[in-house]
Amino acid sequence: MPTVTGRAMQVPAAGGAFQLVTREFPEPGPGQVRIRVHACGVCHSDSLTKLGLWPGLQFPRVPGHEVAGVVDAVGADVPLFKSGQRVGLGWHGGHCNYCNPCRRGDFMLCENQPISGIGYDGGYADYVLAPANALAFLPAELADADAAPLLCAGVTTFNSLRNSGARIGDTVAILGIGGLGHLAIQYAAKAGYRTVAIARGQDKGPLARQLGAHIYIDSTTQDPAKELQKLGGANLVLSTITSAKALEWVIADLAPAGKLLVVGAPEDGAIQVNPFPLLLGRRTVSGWPSGTGMDSEDTLNFSALTGVKPMLETYPLEQAEEAYNRMMSGKARFRVVLQVSS
């Protein structure tokens, strides 16, 4: 398991352009695995690395937290993984096992978790070194490029839905059809919810139905609150949009005991909440981060079982700048993936 040499697309400083560098990837230390990267998704959260927005981030840094590849080398004290196994690495970049949330088994809330591509170098590279306790096994049915976005966008929507308390047959509205939303619609429909997709424009209707939505609401020509009321109210609204203002109508119009679940990060400030619909109707506003390696593995297996797939645009590793700009433009349909090797 000697040191290997490979390419990396690193961010040299906050806001800097990607640099292609050749560097050494050492043999993994105790508890670590080295992954030969095959594909890595380009996520909006990579802007935290690119723009240096994460507190304490150190440069140069290689982003990438949607990593699909093969175990290349294994460090000491790693009983589960062996060279040649297909694995994935997501946002959750490991956990410490000694903080209070870890001691309670709630690894997603670990107080010392490194984020992949932020706390250590991520998947815009030929190799990644990662803690073994962050990894998921990839099912044989899923290609690397299809698996990659499921390790962040996929697990975030799948895991938030399955922990939301919504039951089979409940009315679940997905707000927004983008990188997260187009997966959330598929998961909600496959999970047995009455799935409502809400987005802007009539042209999204056929796509929403193709993804499995039973009902489509065009928020530019219809009033989503009224339309949801006609359906008896939503038990759950999963928001993947980036506008806090556009969420204000949702809370008052949830079904009694309904929940607004936020997985898309609002870019226009705080969500205003009128407390009376919360109090009188026992409604909830909540959020969800993503999931552990095991949650990712559940997501991948469910996706393989039910045929859930991301819609992709792929770029070679060296075009990380173009790929990143395409993702940030909001015009990609719907996830951007770097094809690193095969």
DSSP-based three-state secondary structure for 118: coil
Three-state DSSP state, 23: strand
Question: Could you tell me the smallest distance in angstroms from the CB atom of residue 123 to Zn ion?
Answer: 11
Tell which positions 6-45 bind Zn ion, by CB under 5 A: 43, 45
Antiparallel, parallel or unpaired: β 67-74 and 32-42: antiparallel
Nearer to Zn ion, 67 or 255 (CB): 67
Amino acid, single-letter form, for residue 208: A
The sheet with strand 284-287 has its strands ordered as: 215-218, 194-199, 171-175, 234-239, 254-262, 284-287
Site string for Zn ion, 42-81 (x = CB under 5 A): -x-x------------------------------------
Min dist. Cβ of residue 112 to Zn ion (A): 5
- Of 152, 208, 211, 236, the residue at the interface with Zn ion (CB under 5 A) is 152
298 vs 320: CA distance, rounded Å: 29
- Provide, rounded to whole angstroms, the least separation between the CB of residue 110 and Zn ion: 3
Q: Which helix (DSSP H) or strand (DSSP E) does residue 41 occupy? A: strand 32-42
Task: State in angstroms the smallest separation of the CB of 91 from Zn ion.
Answer: 5
Half-sphere exposure (Cβ direction) of 150: Cα atoms closer than 13 Å: 33
Contact 39, 68 (CB under 8 A): yes
* Nearer CB in complex with Zn ion: 110/304: 110
Q: Smaller CB distance to Zn ion: residue 110 or 148? A: 110
255 binds Zn ion (CB under 5 A): no
Number of residues that bind Zn ion (CB under 5 A): 9
Applying CB under 5 A, the span of 32-40, 134-142, 147-155, 313-321 interacting with Zn ion comes to 147-155
What is the distance, to the nearest Å, from the Cα of residue 206 to the centroid of all Cα atoms in its chain?
A: 24
Which three-class secondary structure state does DSSP give residue 157?
helix
Site track 84-123 with Zn ion (rule: CB under 5 A), x = hit = -----------xx--x--x-------x-x-----------
What residues line the site for Zn ion (CB under 5 A)? 43, 45, 95-96, 99, 102, 110, 112, 152
